[in-house]
Amino acid sequence: MQVRAFFAVDLKDKDIKKKITDIQSALTLPDTRIAFVVPENLHFTMKFLGDLEENIIPEIQTAAEKIKFNSFELDLNGLGCLPNFSYINAIYVGVTKGFTELSAVASKIEELSGQFNFRKEKRPFRAHLTIGRVKRIRDKNPLINKLKENEKTEFGKIIVNSFKLKKSVRTPQGPIYTDLFEVKSTD
């Protein structure tokens, strides 16, 4: 049986989640439809694997557990959008401190995924926490203004001490994520 899976670092901090839901409310604008990520699903995607055979998950776990890293701090600051202001597809919270460490873990996960013949990522890793996907927008200027107003908003700090392989099941109400396994830092 196949499962849709990805590696991620979860956002667990309740205070940061509250700040994000407040921002999401502020981004609810007329003539704009944004599918906001619900608080329990907020995460940093480290590597999207796509569909994989369920029977290879134990092998992936064994390989993932060989990834060694020390826990580190991430500062979550500012709002941005992907790919750019001309065409807004996703809205995210950015990362300042800890970007290098998160990128190093992502690079190790990328190497691991190559061992299992998952598609190599063409773009460089870009640490961001997606908080919404733009589905429809009539006039993007009000949204751009809100994003620019929050370019320097400080959301807080988290400690990254693990990453997970997560299963994703699409539903009409949004995705449901289930943890398949967790790899903890060495410290």
Q: Which CATH superfamily is domain 2-180 in?
A: Cyclic phosphodiesterase (3.90.1140.10)
Burial of 143 (0-12, 13-18, 19+ CB in 10 A): buried
Please, are residues 18 and 111 in contact by the beta-carbon 8 Å criterion? no
The residue from 27, 36, 42, 43 that is catalytic is 43
The residue from 47, 108, 128, 164 that is catalytic is 128
> What gap in Å lies between CA 103 and CA 88, rounded to an integer?
24
Does the pLDDT value for residue 85 go beyond 90? no
Active site residue 165: no
Active site residue 52: no
Q: Where are the alpha helices (DSSP H) in 50-120?
A: 57-64, 99-115
Query: What is residue 158's predicted lDDT score, i.e. its pLDDT?
Result: 97
Share of the chain above pLDDT 70, in %: 100
Burial of 124 (0-12, 13-18, 19+ CB in 10 A): exposed
The pTM for the full model equals: 0.93
Q: What is the mean pLDDT of the segment spanning 149-178? A: 95
Where do the structural domains in the chain lie, given as residue ranges? Answer: 2-180
Does the pLDDT value for residue 160 go beyond 90? yes
pLDDT digits over 31-83, tens only?
A: 899 999 999 999 999 999 999 999 999 999 999 999 999 999 999 999 999 99
Edge to edge, what strands does the sheet with 2-10 contain? 43-53, 2-10, 162-169, 176-184
